[in-house]
Structure 1
Amino acid sequence: MTAVLLLVLPAGGVALGHFIGVDSVAVLLRTPIGGACALAAASLQLAGLLWVRRIAVARPPRDRHQRDLPLAAELLGAVLRVGVPVDHGVLAVARALPLGERLTRVGRALRLGAAPAEAWRHLADLDGAQRLITAAIRSAGSGAALAATLRRIAGDLRAAEADRAEARARRAAVLLVLPLGLCFLPAFVLAGLAPVVIAVVGQLSQ
């Protein structure tokens, strides 16, 4: 939406010229100086759009497993609260999420009698999973205790993700000031204001 608004700034300048009685389009297309302004404005617009696009895609995409971690913790907590054994609960949740491949390894390891620390290590490389792993190890003998802890962890993970999203949005807003000041506003001046000045100067010189 921001890029679209910035893109129409020069068109707004042309409309402003028509409002005060200047044929900005004719100046841009039929005079050498106007043509140079139009070319420069189009180049700046293109550069600005590419710059904005680069800012938008600069952040690396989050791993889908990382995104599913809060939901996995919440679902597992819900399953355990009704009395399902931990290994069965993990495998049940695994069938519902993209994170399932890792959870399946955890559930199978627990079912085969692996130590909790060994079984839960399959989630160790996910950001924020360490609290979940620590809680699972400490509550290995009590699914009910783990369920209560998982609910709190899920809330904390969601809050942390919200904070990261807000920080990314603030950073993007700051970065957008650069293409606005260096590309879009100069394009507005060249395509919107310069034709008015050129037309006025031409009339005065006659």
Structure 2
Amino acid sequence: MGTAAVTLAAALLLGTGPLTVRTRAGLDRQPRVLERPPPAADALAGASSLDVLAVCLRAGMAVPTAARAAAPHAPPLLAAVLGRAADLLALGADPDTAWAATGSGVADPHCHALLRLARRSASSGTALAHGVAELADDIRADATHDAAAAAERASVLIAGPLGLCFLPAFVCLGIVPTVAGLAGDVFGSGLW
């Protein structure tokens, strides 16, 4: 048996290449890769990055530095808004110009709210940290509401097929025997 194994191994190595052996054995196909949908955006990522911004501002960081610290962990639209504002503020731009709505920030309502809040804070002199923390709380409340609505939609979508499965059983096991029993009593009593 040992010489047979050595002879087979030598034949495989010398006679044909590994690709040919795999082809003959039917193993030449590439493994199927299941395509997964792209991961959904984290609904709470914006809230956590705004929390970072609020904590940095409460700690006494300058607004450009705090925005630059919060930008790497923010969702793409919010990161673009924070990065743009941090760069413009660091260069000495007017806060109204730095926090002006551009093409990327207008698409997200939370980014738009942050821009309005920052412009209002710059013009009135109120603390930005408190407003940013409230905006993060609003984002969390919206995410909670969206999750509850999705769960309610799922329960409605599940109830339809279950109802279609249980309705025939209810008719066959509940209504038909009752009607048959009543029909037997009516026909047996001589009313017909």
Please give the TM-score of this superposition, normalised by the length of structure 1.
0.52
Separation in 2 of the partners of 1:142 and 1:83?
19
Q: Alpha-carbon deviations, 1:12-48, whole Å to 9, x = none?
A: xxxxxxxxxxxxxxxxxxxxxxxxxxxxxxxxxxxxx
Aligned partner of 1:76 among 24, 36, 53: 53
Separation in 1 of the partners of 2:81 and 2:119?
17
Contact 1:87 1:108 in 2 (8 A): yes
Residues 6-155 of structure 1 aligned to structure 2 (within 5 Å): 63-64=41-42, 67-99=44-76, 100-120=79-99, 121=101, 122-140=104-122, 145-155=127-137
**Percent identity at matched positions?**
35
Q: Which amino acid aligns with 2:55?
A: A
Separation in 2 of the partners of 1:81 and 1:168?
35
Give the drift of 1:143.
Answer: 8.2
Q: 1:118 to 1:175 in 2, by over 3 A?
A: farther
Separation in 2 of the partners of 1:92 and 1:115?
20
Greater fraction of residues in helix = 1
Which 4+ residue blocks in structure 1 deviate beyond 6 angstroms? 141-144
Greater Rg, structure 1 or structure 2? 2
Q: 1:69 to 1:117 in 2, by over 3 A?
A: farther
**Corresponding pairs, count:** 129
Q: 1:67 to 1:165 in 2, by over 3 A?
A: same
Q: 1:154 to 1:98 in 2, by over 3 A?
A: closer
Please give the TM-score of this superposition, normalised by the length of structure 2.
0.55
Q: Which amino acid aligns with 2:58?
A: R
Q: 1:79 to 1:90 in 2, by over 3 A?
A: same
Separation in 1 of the partners of 2:49 and 2:126?
16
- Where relative contact order (Cα < 8 A, 6+ residues apart) is larger, the structure is 1
Q: Which amino acid aligns with 1:134?
A: R
Separation in 2 of the partners of 1:113 and 1:82?
22
Separation in 2 of the partners of 1:177 and 1:147?
45
Separation in 1 of the partners of 2:133 and 2:119?
16
Q: Which amino acid aligns with 1:132?
A: L
Give the drift of 1:102.
Answer: 4.0
Task: Report the aligned-residue RMSD.
Answer: 3.2
Q: 1:87 to 1:128 in 2, by over 3 A?
A: same
SS at match of 2:127: helix
Q: Which amino acid aligns with 2:98?
A: A
| Unaligned 5+ runs, structure 2 | 1-36, 174-192
